[in-house]
Structure 1
Amino acid sequence: MNSELLSALDDLERERGIDKEILFQAIESALISAYRRNFASAQNVRVRIDRQTGATQVWAQKTVVAEVQDHRLEVGLDEAREIRPGSVEGDILEFEVTPKNFGRIAAQTAKQVIVQRIREAERGLIYEEFVGREGDIVTGLVQRAERGLVYIDLGRTEAIMMPSEQVPGERLRANERVKLYVVEVKKTNKGPQIFVSRNHPGLIKRLFELEVPEIHDGVVEIKGIAREAGARTKIAVWAEDPNVDPVGSCVGNKGTRVQAIVQELHGEKLDIIRWDPDPTIFVANALSPAQVTEVVVEPDTRVARVVVPDNQLSLGIGKEGQNARLAAKLTGWKVDLRSESQVSNSGSWW
């Protein structure tokens, strides 16, 4: 091992925080295997690297016995006492067996171990960075799609988007920059595996936190999100300060804030709803853009019976029931929606 490698170990300890002694021990362990592999030796050996000079020595370890059966592993008692007086059976003696060209092998092995430990350290750092970002948002470049999986380049590592986490009908182009929600980070032998999502409701929450300072600062609070990814999302917001308009804060001047989010979601519709502690008001707001005539709630069954003008019924229900379905999911109330004429013709409100 030469001075360059010793210097490299010093640099690794200083710059990457990898303990130099741990590296020495790892190289010594690797050199034992290299010695046995290159010199077809079945001996019990120990490798020692001088911490100051880098000189490498191989020592064969032999057990002191009365009668030698295997010269590779054993040494006779008489011979042992010539080397170390007072030796007894069972003692271990060491004999230097360093091959002449072992320095070259030691240098190559050291480089391999160092590279491996650098990779392991980098993987550890990447894992620590991203495991703390579960539930957070990241930005990456779309790399490729294979067998239904989408691979995203996050710079220092790669993320995977499973089919279940993709938005139906969304086509991501190669090298397109997208924002993603970190669902899970796993530690594996090959490094961290980062699983991301484009259809998770948490993505909506994080996007609003990025675009709306009032949400980031806690002035406006997100009370709930109901999403059918790629089609429509309803988000309920509220502000404790009566002088703050939570919906207006999210929409932004001339809709700039909400439009930035819609653009990131490739045109997904967003309904920003004012949350209210009164479920009758909250349910009515949640059915936006439909206008509501009356809401009666039944707390025992969690049913909200809603009446809308005749010309608002289809709007309240939405395409394939989507608007009413999302309103129910957002509020936690089962929505029974009827038009004024339906209620009038039945002879009673319900």
Structure 2
Amino acid sequence: MNIELIQALDDLEKDKGIPKDKLLEGLKAALKSAYDKSGYGPKDNAEIQIDENTGEVRVYSKREVVFEVEEEGEEISLAQAREENPTCEVGDIIKVEVTPSDFGRIAAQTAKQVVIQRIREAEREIVYEEFITQEGEIVTGTVQRCHEGNVIVDLGRTEAVLIPREQIDDEFYEPNDSIKVYIVEVEQTTKGPNVLVSRTHPGLLKRLFEIEVPEIQDGTVEIKSIAREAGGRSKMAVYSTNSDVDPVGSCVGPNGSRVRVVVNELNNEKIDIVEWSDDIKEYVSNALSPAEVIKVAADEEENVAEVIVPDHQLSLAIGKRGQNARLAAKLTGWKIDIKSASQFEEAEVL
């Protein structure tokens, strides 16, 4: 332990952002533990001091001043104590240097281990702080490998895990593939940050449109709601704060250019973009697009909407395996009961 250690701690503080005082505290704690384990003296009776200028390490033992020593290592005779401090009295607690002759070697080894450990901890903390601020954001990563259904994605400073339920059905991931993922959650662990990412989260669809559509970026167009069945179909309700701006057209883009970018990124997922309305009848009608709607009757107490569609539009309104109706209900937050015009007329007659 010498001036080189102090210089190293100064460099770590400057380059890694690890406070020098924290490194010294950790080093003192580790040296005390090493001293106690080595059996040099009674446990919990030692105090480690490190000269911050020279790096010199000294060990002190706390002793009670007594007339006659009965407990070696815990007591000191008055006569011996007064050699150090002529004013001390029986019952005082004084510190006696007990630095072992070979403690320099132990100190050097311990210092190396502590510094390495603190560097790792600091680097983990830096990476965690970087990614915790990116929760809810899209990042681009590289597929590293697949393991037991999980896809490990390299994000540069750390790896992320794309678990099976966050993967798009029928999407294949090969090593070195570049993919965009949505950061769902970042947790700090003893091994570093655990980053959970998704390709199925509605937030991925939302952020992709925010990137592609300038009107969303400047706040003219707002995304009000998203209902998504990843890899199959999604619905997105949008609203314009400017009556001169078409929210749906803004998201679709010239010749469908903007929505096409998002569709391509999501493995050709179909996306219905509809206009949001605070009139629930109009909103439900829009949500069932591309089906035509004749009439909507809304029960606002039960949040149930009865929808009448032309006979030839019934299957389109319901969708394959009920997908269109299911997504419309999820988008609006209302239960939707769909009937054809003829079914409605029959019910009215009865």
Residues 141-171 of structure 1: per-residue CA shift (max 9 Å, x gap): 2333434444332221233344443434443
* Mapping 1:148-167, distance limit 5 Å: 148-167=149-168
Q: CA deviation at 1:40?
A: 5.0
Residues 154 and 243 (structure 1), Cα distance of their counterparts in 2 relative to 1, 3 Å cut: same
Say which SS state the counterpart of residue 297 (structure 2) adopts. strand
Q: CA deviation at 1:122?
A: 2.3
Residue identity over aligned pairs, in percent, reads 55
Residues 40 and 158 (structure 1), Cα distance of their counterparts in 2 relative to 1, 3 Å cut: farther
Residues 206 and 53 (structure 1), Cα distance of their counterparts in 2 relative to 1, 3 Å cut: same
For residues 347 and 84 of structure 2, what CA distance do their matches in structure 1 show?
A: 114
Residues 208-248 of structure 1: per-residue CA shift (max 9 Å, x gap): 11121211211111111111122111001111222212112
Q: Is structure 2 residue 28 aligned with structure 1 residue 28? A: yes
Structure 2 unpaired stretches of 5+: none
Residues 57 and 274 (structure 1), Cα distance of their counterparts in 2 relative to 1, 3 Å cut: same
Structure 1 unpaired stretches of 5+: none
* Mapping 1:37-52, distance limit 5 Å: 37-38=37-38, 41-42=41-42, 44-52=45-53
* Mapping 1:1-350, distance limit 5 Å: 1-38=1-38, 41-42=41-42, 44-344=45-345, 346=346, 348=348
Q: TM-score, normalised by structure 2?
A: 0.89
Say which SS state the counterpart of residue 348 (structure 1) adopts. helix
CA contact (8 A) 2:3 2:53 kept: no
CA contact (8 A) 2:145 2:153 kept: yes
Residues 91-140 of structure 1: per-residue CA shift (max 9 Å, x gap): 33333333344333323322222222222222222333333333333332
Amino acid at match of 1:11: D
> How large is the RMSD of aligned CA atoms in angstroms?
2.5
CA contact (8 A) 2:40 2:100 kept: no
Report how many residues are paired: 349
Q: CA deviation at 1:264?
A: 1.9
For residues 195 and 40 of structure 1, what CA distance do their matches in structure 2 show?
A: 48
For residues 76 and 147 of structure 1, what CA distance do their matches in structure 2 show?
A: 68
For residues 271 and 75 of structure 1, what CA distance do their matches in structure 2 show?
A: 86
CA contact (8 A) 2:215 2:250 kept: yes
Residues 82 and 275 (structure 1), Cα distance of their counterparts in 2 relative to 1, 3 Å cut: closer
Amino acid at match of 1:109: T
Residues 50-92 of structure 1: per-residue CA shift (max 9 Å, x gap): 2112222223333223332332332223332344323323333
